[in-house]
Structure 1
């Protein structure tokens, strides 16, 4: 499928068919909205992607989604094109992602819930792997829940096709904390990288974050191949079946690591219930919490706008300054006398303003997280590091890089300088040869 084919299929104005309700998420390649399909009144998810983004990956994601038709994979419902944006229409999953439940609601999952999640994710991966696909980015944030608490694998932006002729892939891609050792080592890999990522996701679900989450993502790629396979931080809380299942997912040698079909026969999975039985209550609670957080955020934004308008009125005219200041003061007085909940909002608002004045290190952190998926592969391949990250790394080397990474960057620089010197010498030799020929003539 090409972009031209997609555009031909999506020539209808999306706003004729769709009403956008609200933003529900964002990723590397676009923003996702909750929307309504006008003809049926059914809820859908709309992923808006600028065609100025990585077109190859966008087209690839649509191809993968179109080829999938399975209960535990988010379904694709079509594409529209408007104002240099592709509107990718997907199945709406009202329960949000497991990542949202972990991060926004501060919930973690018990063994019964994790077993149910693993069972449905493995069933989805089994479908993908039988169709020669590798997801390459399994993590809590890419596992969605329906209103009925069924699991759906989503986000196929970095999925890969593995043909019969291509027994291994070599591209360095994925989210660093969940990345299998063989991807980082560039030793070639297959569908078993998804098994490793599932193992890391189990720890993420159990403890709220993946292993090594306290380490910068750029540095993580050095730790994963060297360190022993991760384990639960409190192993006594988990059954022997659960720990055995996790240890099998996180076998470092991919030749010894079981595949998805093997894991579906493991006792931890064979005895697991469906997600609809074990997760329904947590989905209901998390939806309530997320709605409250949205209302709270909306209130803070409105409060900021009102205060900004009040400030502008104060300085806009000297004639009206007294009355405006009185209005502003009374507003402040009301806020100071509101209940504890409003006081918390004020504190959060102050923190928000304070965050804007934090030093450039915070900007570095945000910048790094936004490019980490794209740049991790470039970090490992020295030519791409030199061409795309050299300036960034040197500017922020003390803040984000270990001594090991500093040394590595120096090695890359020396290697590049050596190559330049060799090229220069070859040029001089060739120049002399040409000059010699001209002199003979």
Structure 2
């Protein structure tokens, strides 16, 4: 798609108006590769929100942004981030989602040590999100700790649907290489035909990431064996409120680095 076609398509799926007239506080929360994240309060909804501001001119693959908005708008389930609204103002795209104060799973795996039951709790919640997506023949294709957000009460939600792909009865498998390499299944790396099962492989690697406290992954015999063992392992899962102490500990550790 050309830039003009992308902008035209975006304008058909976003809300009319300027988000800065509705959200005025705009406190900076974080900075990602695709844009800046702010927090604010939606008075009408009575809840805190996160607003991702994306400069469209700086995005090399703008069509992925369209894909992300469409997936978040269409698919609603407790384990997928709550999409609230989106706006385009000149060359800026504003995506509004429910704010999750726990931050990303990456913060927890790098700053704390998770026990087996807590790892199983995260795995169980992510599997519920993937089960929902896979029923609708949607492959996430980028499962990793960066793309899992946590609520302070321990809720677990998938984010970042830019790499999602839909398969159809006529095209039951995909063959494009788009995921983050360390989490990819072999068939994705070699660009062979693959199915939604690649998300389960990536989730297995993410489980190893949690065990190894975010350290580099070794794609060898042990990770593959762990992949086969992951479903019985989920029976160990604690309630996800058990994640709250880890989130608090991770935030304290991150403050000490400043």
Same fold per superposition (TM over 0.5) = yes
Report the alpha carbon displacement of residue 171 of structure 1 after superposing the two structures with TM: 0.6
**Match status 1:119 vs 2:124:** yes
Partner of 1:59: 66
**Match status 1:23 vs 2:15:** no
CA contact (8 A) 1:145 1:152 kept: yes
Instruction: Specify which of 76, 79, 86 is matched with residue 69 of structure 1.
Output: 76
Instruction: Write the mapping of 1:137-148 to structure 2, written as runs, cut at 5 A.
Output: 137-148=142-153
Partner of 2:212: 207
- Please give the secondary structure, in 2, of the residue aligned with 1:155: coil
Report the alpha carbon displacement of residue 287 of structure 1 after superposing the two structures with TM: 3.0
Partner of 1:248: 228
Please identify which structure carries the higher strand content: 2
Report the alpha carbon displacement of residue 199 of structure 1 after superposing the two structures with TM: 1.0
Please identify which structure carries the higher helix content: 1
**Match status 1:273 vs 2:234:** no
Gaps of 5+ in 2: none
Instruction: Specify which of 248, 251, 254 is matched with residue 287 of structure 1.
Output: 251
**Count of residue pairs the alignment pairs up:** 249
CA contact (8 A) 1:78 1:88 kept: yes
Provide the C-alpha distance between the structure 2 equivalents of 1:101 and 1:268, rounded to a whole number of angstroms: 20
**Structure 1, residues 270-316: CA drift from partner, whole Å, max 9, x if none?**
3422212x2121122223444555xx3xxxxxxxxxxxxxxxxxxxx
| 4+ aligned runs moved over 4 Å, structure 1 | none
Report the alpha carbon displacement of residue 77 of structure 1 after superposing the two structures with TM: 0.7
Report the alpha carbon displacement of residue 166 of structure 1 after superposing the two structures with TM: 1.0
Aligned-residue CA RMSD (Å):
2.2
Report the alpha carbon displacement of residue 230 of structure 1 after superposing the two structures with TM: 3.5
Instruction: Specify which of 31, 42, 47 is matched with residue 42 of structure 1.
Output: 47
Instruction: Specify which of 72, 75, 86 is matched with residue 79 of structure 1.
Output: 86
Provide the C-alpha distance between the structure 2 equivalents of 1:160 and 1:133, rounded to a whole number of angstroms: 6
Instruction: Specify which of 7, 25, 28 is matched with residue 11 of structure 2.
Output: 7
Structure exhibiting the larger radius of gyration computed from Cα positions: 1
- Please give the secondary structure, in 2, of the residue aligned with 1:43: strand
Provide the C-alpha distance between the structure 1 equivalents of 2:116 and 2:17, rounded to a whole number of angstroms: 47
Instruction: Specify which of 159, 177, 191 is matched with residue 154 of structure 1.
Output: 159
**TM-score of the superposition, structure 1-length normalised?**
0.53
Gaps of 5+ in 1: 213-223, 232-242, 250-262, 297-441
Instruction: Write the mapping of 1:170-249 to structure 2, written as runs, cut at 5 A.
Output: 170-208=175-213, 209-212=215-218, 228-231=220-223, 246-248=226-228
Partner of 2:170: 165
Provide the C-alpha distance between the structure 2 equivalents of 1:186 and 1:284, rounded to a whole number of angstroms: 41
